[in-house]
Amino acid sequence: MTHPTDHDTVPTRPLISQPRMSMRMRSNLWVWCFLAIPLVFYVVIRFYPTFNAFWLSLTDWDLMSDAEFIGFENYRDMFADDDFWKTFWNTFEYLIYGTPTSLVIAFVIAYYLDKVRFAHNFLRALYFMPYITTAAAMAWVWRWFYQPAPTGLINGVLGEVGIGQIEFLKSTTWALPSIMVTAIWAGLGFQIIIFMAGLRAIPDTYYEAARMDGLGEWAILRKITLPLLKPTMVFLVVFISIAFLRIFDQVYNMTTNDPGGPLGSTKPLVLMIYQTAFSSYDMGQAAAQTVVLFTILLVVSLLQLWVLRERT
């Protein structure tokens, strides 16, 4: 092959024409094209209603008439209402007992499941199953478990061993823990998978080196596994906390006849908001409750991130 020379008859012009936009601009254009869809969605469907809720909480809107500005009256009413405080503390009970219990159980299962080779995938799928099951369906199954004998499985077993019947969902003492157990069980699958991914990410040589240095199982767990799982834990603590603060499905489905349990003993904030908005149609009041929930979520999440922050 010969190289083109000055005498070639082919007109000499650059083979590739210079693009109009710089490479940086072109790639930015693409990025924004793809980002536009979720961005528009979030702004219209999520952010706008969120900010609107702040405004609504200062009005007396009831769906029918126009919203009228009433200042902080909704908040004053809410804070003076005993039912609100009952619901407020219920929500924190779910959070305070539910989060650490979930975390410990999920970790223990993940820790041992990680060591099991026999039927590993089957067991993992079994634990994950509740997570992909509809909350309503699960809640109804558990609801049956909690019935009095002979319908209720648990009371049936208690009866067999000679222990008195427990009125799980009808007792002001037991209703909340009973629902919490269901909620914990429903979330475990996801948390176990996350913990296992965290455990898998720790190189085997860390454990081998520790064994050579003579650390026992307990010391390895305390000195190596747990500290290295910290990012996983931070994520899960925040994730589980938000889930418990927003608990609704289980409560709504397990105490349908009397949503919120006997004397409101199981009612969380979200259920209260739902009832205020869609039973009482008091949108202003519901918006005020939403703002309170939003504030709690924000404060709790920020607090956890701060407490569990990486210290250097």
Q: Which residues bind other proteins (CB under 8 A)?
A: 203, 205-206, 208-215, 219, 223-224, 227-228, 230, 312
Amino acid at 222: R
CB of 53 or CB of 221, closer to other proteins:
221
CB of 20 or CB of 115, closer to other proteins:
115
- Cβ 210 to other proteins, closest distance in Å? 8
- Cβ 216 to other proteins, closest distance in Å? 8
CB of 16 or CB of 212, closer to other proteins:
212
CB of 39 or CB of 201, closer to other proteins:
201
Give the Å distances, CA to CA, from 175 to 12, 167, 169, 246. 86, 8, 4, 18
Which residues face 59 on adjacent strands? 69
CB of 13 or CB of 117, closer to other proteins:
117
- Cβ 234 to other proteins, closest distance in Å? 13
Residue 14 in 3-state DSSP? Answer: coil
Amino acid at 5: T
- Cβ 230 to other proteins, closest distance in Å? 8
The Cα–Cα gap between 145 and 148 comes to 8
Give the Å distances, CA to CA, from 281 to 69, 77, 311. 17, 16, 48
Closest CA to 98 of 172, 166, 169, 178: 178
Write down the residue that tokens 């199953």 correspond to.
Answer: 129
- Cβ 227 to other proteins, closest distance in Å? 4
